[in-house]
Structure formats: C-alpha cells, structure tokens
Amino acid sequence: MPRLLIRLLPDGRAAWLALGRDGCPLGAVTAGLPPAGAHDEVVAIAPAEDVLLLGAPRVARSEKQLARALPYAIEDRLAMPVETQHVAWAPASDPARVLVAVIARERLDAHLATLRAAGLEPDALVPEPLLLPVGSLLAEPGRVLLRGDESHALVLTPEELPAFLPAGPVEATLAAGAQPDLPATVITRRVDDALHAYAAALVDGLPLDLLQGGYAPRRRREGAARAWRHAALAAGVAVALGVVHLAVERQQLAAHVAAQREEMAQLLRAAVPGTQRIVDPVQQLRAALAAGGEGGGDAALDLLAAAAPALSADAATVLDALDYRNGVLELTVTAPDVAALDALRARLAAAALRVELTAATPGSRGVEGRLRIGGGA
C-alpha cells in the first residue's frame, strides 16, 4: 500500500502524490484529493499562509508540561486570542529552545473536514515552510515561499522577493512555470511540481506534526485510550484492596480535619500577616475579611473554603497573599513554573469557581501568579 502525500493549497484546491516505501514518487502529481482506501500513511501539508512559525524558550522540562505552558509563553506575540489558536511544537536545533507552529483552530478544522469528507484520515499534518531547508526558497507561478531561518518563513510575490532575499547564499527550487528574477548568487534547481521537493524532504522524517493534543490522529488516541484502560483497571484493583482496610478510615478522617484546619490557618496568615495566636481560624478569618474588605466576610470565607483544597493539592505552590474586594478574591501564589500555575487554575475551575489567571511573572523563587476568583460558574 502506498504512502500518500497531499498538499492543501491556499485557494482551497489540493494535489497529491503516491510514494513508495523508500519515499520515491510512484507516479505523477494528481490534482484534487486521492480516492479513499487503504494506505500505509496519509501525510497532508498545511499551506504556509495558514501557519505562523516561532522560536520559543523551552519553558518546561516534560513534554506534557511544555504543551500546556507554550500557549501562555507566546500569547503576547499573537495577533489573535490564543484560545482561538492551536499550538504545536518540535525540538529546535538549540536544546534550550523549541520550534513552534501556530494555526487558527478554524483553519485546522476546515482542513481536517476537507480530508475526512473525502474518506481520508491524516496521520500527520506538516507545515509547508518546514519542508524547505533553512536559507532556501521555492518559487511557483505568482508565489514564492522563503524560509530565512529555522523559525521564520515568508510567502511573497515574485516582485517582492528581491527586497527580502538574504545577503548570503540561497538555494532556490523552481517549480514548472516559475520565472522569478533572481540574482546570479542564487543556486537554482527545477522540479516538475513542488510536491516532488516536499516528498524528498520527508525522507528524513517529519519536521513537526500539527496533529498534537486533541488533534492527535484517532489511531494514536485509541492507543493512548488502551493504556489508560489498563491503568484504570490497575487502579480499580488497588481501590478494591483498600476496602479491606476500613479500620483506618477513622484515623484518615481525623487527619483530613486537621489538614483542613491547617489550610485555614495558612490562609489566615496570608490574609493577616503577623498573626501569631490562632484559636479558631475560621472565625478569625471571617472577622479579618469582614474588617479589611467591605462587609463580605462570609462570602469571602465561602470562596476560600472552596479554593483551599485546590491550593493545598500541590505542596510546591505557595500562597503568598490574598485580598477580597467587591465579591472578588485575589490570590498571589508562587509556583515552580507556568504549568503548575495552569494546573492550579484548572483545579479551581473544577471546584465550580470562576477563575482567571491574570499574571505570570518569572522570579528567583519560581513563577509568581495572580488569580482572580469569583463565585460559582
């Protein structure tokens, strides 16, 4: 069964090429989408016009934490709200950095819908610029794609190209019909179609796959689901064994009550710095909040009680200060990294609280975060 390489064009058209196991073309480039059927692999190419390439520091150690933290790390460099964008990444040549590709979820959904309507389920979706070597360009009639460095690419008209050509050596791939005005220093080669150049680039593997996270291919998700089912089965056995030890529940309950009391004591110390004697932390908190806020001691305490389990779930995240005004509770915390802040935000949201992460500032002790909490969602 062949491997299919499908190019999604900026104007909504498509073209495809069948490849052998060695990556060599098995025939000519064909316009449109291939017929549905059994294929070893379906690799689609997203047009450069739809994808923004960026370089970013590796802000977390694990891949899971990095995937969650990256959107926050780059959101100030995006023209649109990060919630409307899908962010994918791959290792960069510098181990301390990553290569990031951003595509609007609306455009990504449209590309996948086009393929699925034709009975095709892509195994990978690759950004077009990453199929060009760094410091090279690909010219087609009326269009030039220039990849200046690892994380930057431009789509230009042939007339715009001279103003953006780098001073050093540049390799140019010219598709049939392309006649750009190039200086003599540019090394050129010709191909019948851009797909031939892109197929050759894929012989060494995928540079970056946009289908990450919730967009991972179904086969990949099904494999992960099987692993989770095995984990769930093991967890079920552990729970069943735990039932045998019901005698320890009384001790656990007492410890839980003590832990909750300590949580409230910590919240009291954060709300009223300098508090030394703690007799009844709940009543002391209510009085402090009513006096320092605007008569909303009970409401503030309700919010604190709802937030306390989420705050204490991660010992590495420390509550530094809190403030209650006009029905809104402001928390200042210090966390190891942005991923831990986002995990705290998620725990608070899971407790039916309206929560917003309003700031994340790196510092010597970690990342200082500010969270604004309202009432129930």
Tell me whether the CATH fold assigned to 3-132+193-216 matches the one assigned to 297-374: no
Phi, psi dihedrals of residue 331, rounded to the nearest 5°? -110, 140
Please give the pLDDT value at position 228.
Answer: 43
| Predicted confidence (pLDDT) per residue in 107-125, tens digit | 999 999 999 999 999 999 9
Question: How confident is the model over 213-219, as a mean pLDDT?
Answer: 86
Beta-carbon contacts of 332 under 8 Å, excluding residues fewer than 6 positions away, are 319, 320, 321, 322, 368, 369, 370
DSSP class of residue 313? Answer: T
Phi, psi dihedrals of residue 238, rounded to the nearest 5°? -65, -40
Residue 224 pLDDT exceeds 70: no
- What is the token pair recorded at 319? 């509550």
Say which range, 273-277, 346-350, 352-356, has the weakest mean pLDDT.
273-277
The CATH class that applies to domain 3-132+193-216 reads alpha beta
Residue 18 near residue 2 (C-beta atoms within 8 A): yes
Q: Which residue has 């402001």 as its token pair?
A: 330
When mean pLDDT is compared over 17-21, 29-33, 233-237, 238-242, the highest value belongs to 29-33
CA neighbor of 330 nearest in space, from 375, 371, 283? 371
Beta-carbon contacts of 173 under 8 Å, excluding residues fewer than 6 positions away, are 132, 136, 137, 138, 139, 188, 189, 190, 191, 194, 197
Residue 53 pLDDT exceeds 70: yes
Residue spans per domain, the chain: 3-132+193-216, 223-292, 297-374
| CATH number for domain 297-374, candidates 3.40.50.2300, 3.90.950.20, 3.30.565.10, 3.30.1360.100 | 3.30.1360.100
Estimate to the nearest angstrom the gap between the alpha carbon of 144 and the chain centroid. Answer: 29
Please give the pLDDT value at position 194.
Answer: 96
